[in-house]
Amino acid sequence: MKIRVNQWLNFWGATASGLIVVAFCLILLWRDPLAFWNDDYELSILPVFADVARSWSEGDFPLLSPYSWICSNLAGEFQYGTFSIFINAAVILVWKFSLSFPQQAAALSIIHLFVLAAGAFLLARDRELSAPLSIFVALVAALNGWIICWGAADWFGALGAFAWFPWGWWGLERALDRQRTRWRFLWPAPFVYLVVTGGFPYTVLMLVLLIAWLCLRSLIQTRTLLSILPLLFGAALGFGLSAPAWLAAFAYVHGSARELQTSSAHWQWLVPPAALPGFILPCWTVNWADFSTRMMPHTATELSCGLVATAAFIAAFVAKYAIRDSRIASPFTLSGEAETEVASLRKIRSEIGLLLLVLAISMLPSAGVFRWSFRWLPFFHLILALCAAEALRQLGRRAHPQQLSREILALPGMIAFLLVALTAITMSILHTDGPNAFPLTWIFLGLSLLWVFSEFLSSQSKQLLAWMPAGVTVAALLATYFLLPLNCGVPKYNLDPQLLGAGPLDRQRLYLSIYPPTEHAYRIEKKTGPVGQVVRPGSTSMWGELHFINGYSPILAAGVGRDFNFAIHGEIDPDFGKYLLTEQAGADGLLTRLGVDGIAVASEVNVDPLPAIDWRLVTSTKEGRVFHRRVAPFARVRSVTSIDSRPGEQFVPANISRITESRNQVEADVDPVKGDQRVALLTFSRPYFRGYVAQIAGEKLSVDSYRGLFPTVELPAGLHGHLVLTYRPVWLVAGGGLSILCVVIFVAGVVAAAVSGGSYNSSRI
């Protein structure tokens, strides 16, 4: 009965933590309705998710998108959580409501922040922390500066994956608990799956580090390999469940733009040592290396953790050495034995090692396909919150401090006051104060004094002291986000809501858009009015169901992305774009072979497609010009009699009819000219990825590509019938099979646990 009561308490506590976070976010939205509407969310995340919702409504699995060549392979992009059941369910749910773009973004982020807070609460509760301290951990984990300013407002993939990270940690620790049954390996599996499929490689790396650290800690404590087997098996089961996601990432990152990124990217967005006081006062401003490797003044908003966590962590060390100093009568005694409290603080020693390791990683250059090491900060904030909560629990077991005694200096609240005061003085001397430093400093000083006051009232109101860390944390974070910009300098765009429609473009045509770098040309500082209706920057073509070559892609897995020298935000290299329009836009040019029959040119670009006789101007606005070929829109499947990639060869023409194109498949009836013994060659106007298979009349055909740009299929002489081209890569087949196998193992394990447990109680698996 006690276990069942605790389960209900944990359920309601996790729910309360999530609701507090939701209320906090609603306050931010009340102040700024565009708080969660920035940069990647605008150009990439939201239009893709609109297409994902459309895909499910059409009954198709969103592996590919027909509306962008650059960002066609949604599974290969990884960041869109293609294989995450939760992300897809959240997208479907949010798109059931008539919400504006910023409201859809906010809804998606808030849903995942709720999950993050609930998981952090349960992780803390499993460590036998009180409900107030567990809520404090949840608040720091879900509302710290990095999660709010970057994960929730820009890089949704980071939030989508990290939302399940505390749950994964919770499950992994349960798998190590030898007091649980032999079925305890089941706990981490679903959460490891959700972390991996969430769509952020950095979080997967964090998870691997966490698993290694937990294994090492268990081996040191138990000195037996058997102790870590449930954890390893559960984690392996979770990775097996998520196999299609990470296999897709491995398949398409090889040879992509991410693999070939410049070395300077590894020195961008590191946490500089000089920025560390930002953990105390987020208005602390020093130089950081930005996206262009320029050292620019940057306010340390992403280091914000609500003051309490940093102060409590430092107070633990101050208390430890104060106890050891015989000249100071320690206020941290329980039954008169100071050393008992010192020993109890050793419980967080291993977490301190992990904390320092993660901090060091966030300050060091990245390597390989990874970049921007400050992305480790959410992990750091979570560990810091757990360490601080444990310190607060131990420091709370003390006698009531005497006023004006030297012991007051070791109180967490007083430590917070002294840290803020010293940081403010240093900030004034070094001129590292950022925007609104004056009011924020005074608010933090007031909050720390309020905390000190509650510690003196601890004997009269223990509940006040218990809830003070959570209360001060919320107030400090709210003050931080009210006084400091949440945007962190990334672009904001005023995207036109009419992007949901097609006009002035044609859904039957394939467009190449030529526009200047989006982050410079279209940000609201440059263009305050609505933008995007003509040029459709990034992946915004997906909103209007328009077919574009362009798209937002960090890895540029499609061959056209690399060969045409596209940038991440979807703009083509200006010189190459001019070459395509002036040299390759004719009837025999490369754009014709691709199937491009529409051109959108921004007003900043002074070039039109040639020859002019092949093109007509259909629209001209302040934003740009739209050109269409004078012929009817090209068919998506075409028969060619020759192609420059195979010089000297001639192919028999074929009649193609009844073309049916879906996301992951193309069907057509093909009838080559009879009596001609030459082969027929078909081209498909869609980006090429490894993994296409084709068959006609039950016979399998090989699928090739035109210079890695689009698929081609060769039909042997005399063969005709119904042709089916399907995207079915090896990684999907192998990953899907492994995932299904792991689902069977997991379900069988749950059933076996229920049967063997008699009156089954999931809390003791």
Q: In the 3-class helix/strand/coil scheme, how is 93-114 assigned residue by residue? A: HHCCCCCCHHHHHHHHHHHHHH
pLDDT over 90 percentage in the chain: 75
Which of 127-131, 341-345, 738-742 has the least mean pLDDT?
341-345
Distances in Å between the alpha carbon of 281 and those of 328, 469, 486? 30, 17, 15
pLDDT digits (tens, 9 = 90+) for 696-738: 988 999 999 999 999 999 999 888 899 999 999 999 999 999 9
In angstroms, how far is CA 755 from the centroid of its own chain? 39
CB 36 within 8 A of CB 105: yes
Q: Backbone dihedral region of 81: left (phi > 0), alpha (psi from -120 to 50 degrees) or beta?
A: left
CB 694 within 8 A of CB 726: yes
Residue with tokens 């396909």: 369
652 φ, ψ (degrees, to nearest 5): -75, 135
Distances in Å between the alpha carbon of 194 and those of 84, 88, 375, 580? 6, 12, 19, 43
**Total-model pTM:** 0.94
For 96-103, the CB contacts below 8 A with 24+ separation are: 100/497, 101/37, 101/42, 101/46, 101/495, 101/497, 102/33, 102/34, 102/36, 102/37, 103/33
Q: pLDDT value at position 405?
A: 52
CB 486 within 8 A of CB 527: no
Q: How confident is the model at residue 58 (pLDDT cuts 50, 70, 90)?
A: very high
Cis? peptide before 530, omega within 30° of 0: no
Spatial distance between the Cα atoms of 188 and 194, rounded to a whole number of angstroms: 10
Closest CA to 176 of 124, 121, 232, 135: 232
CB 305 within 8 A of CB 279: yes
Residue with tokens 């940081």: 423
Please check the confidence at residue 695 and state whether its pLDDT lies above 70: yes
| DSSP classification of residue 240 | H
Grouping H, G, I as helix, E, B as strand and the rest as coil, residue 677 is coil
Q: pLDDT value at position 337?
A: 40
Which of 47-51, 281-285, 324-328 has the least mean pLDDT?
324-328
Grouping H, G, I as helix, E, B as strand and the rest as coil, residue 296 is strand
Q: Which H or E run includes 578?
A: helix 574-583
CB 133 within 8 A of CB 389: yes
Other C-beta atoms lying within 10 Å of the C-beta of residue 216: 14
What pairing do the DSSP bridges indicate for beta strands 703-706 and 710-715? antiparallel
CB 168 within 8 A of CB 215: no
**CB environment 389-419: b (16+ within 10 A), e (fewer):** bbbbbbbbebeebeeeeebbebbbbbbbbeb
Residue-wise DSSP of 210-235: HHHHHHHHHHHHH--GGGGHHHHHHH
pLDDT digits (tens, 9 = 90+) for 406-421: 566 678 899 999 999 9
Closest CA to 44 of 592, 490, 613: 490
What are the residues whose beta carbons fall under 8 Å from the beta carbon of 69, sequence distance 6 or more? 548, 549, 550, 551, 558, 560, 561, 686, 687
What are the residues whose beta carbons fall under 8 Å from the beta carbon of 632, sequence distance 6 or more? none
pLDDT digits (tens, 9 = 90+) for 339-380: 444 444 566 778 899 999 999 999 999 887 788 999 999 999
Q: How confident is the model at residue 404 (pLDDT cuts 50, 70, 90)?
A: very low
Cis? peptide before 574, omega within 30° of 0: no
Q: pLDDT value at position 327?
A: 43
Q: Is 353 exposed, middle or buried (0-12, 13-18, 19+ CB in 10 A)?
A: middle
In angstroms, how far is CA 228 from the centroid of its own chain? 29
Which of 157-161, 260-264, 476-480, 491-495 has the least mean pLDDT?
260-264
Which of 4-13, 79-88, 496-505, 558-567 has the least mean pLDDT?
4-13
Q: pLDDT value at position 329?
A: 42
CB 290 within 8 A of CB 268: yes
100 φ, ψ (degrees, to nearest 5): -75, 170
pLDDT digits (tens, 9 = 90+) for 78-102: 999 999 999 999 999 999 999 999 9
Q: Across 539-597, where does the E strand assignment appear? A: 547-548
Q: pLDDT value at position 465?
A: 84
Other C-beta atoms lying within 10 Å of the C-beta of residue 23: 10
| DSSP classification of residue 437 | H
Residue with tokens 């089916």: 724
What ranges in 126-187 are assigned the alpha helix state H? 131-143, 145-146, 156-162, 165-176
What pairing do the DSSP bridges indicate for beta strands 624-629 and 615-620? antiparallel
Distances in Å between the alpha carbon of 86 and those of 112, 167, 172? 9, 14, 20
Q: How confident is the model at residue 745 (pLDDT cuts 50, 70, 90)?
A: very high
Please check the confidence at residue 323 and state whether its pLDDT lies above 70: no
Grouping H, G, I as helix, E, B as strand and the rest as coil, residue 566 is strand
Mean pLDDT computed over every residue of the chain: 90
Q: pLDDT value at position 403?
A: 46
Q: How confident is the model at residue 179 (pLDDT cuts 50, 70, 90)?
A: confident
Other C-beta atoms lying within 10 Å of the C-beta of residue 441: 20
Q: pLDDT value at position 322?
A: 57
Please check the confidence at residue 457 and state whether its pLDDT lies above 80: no
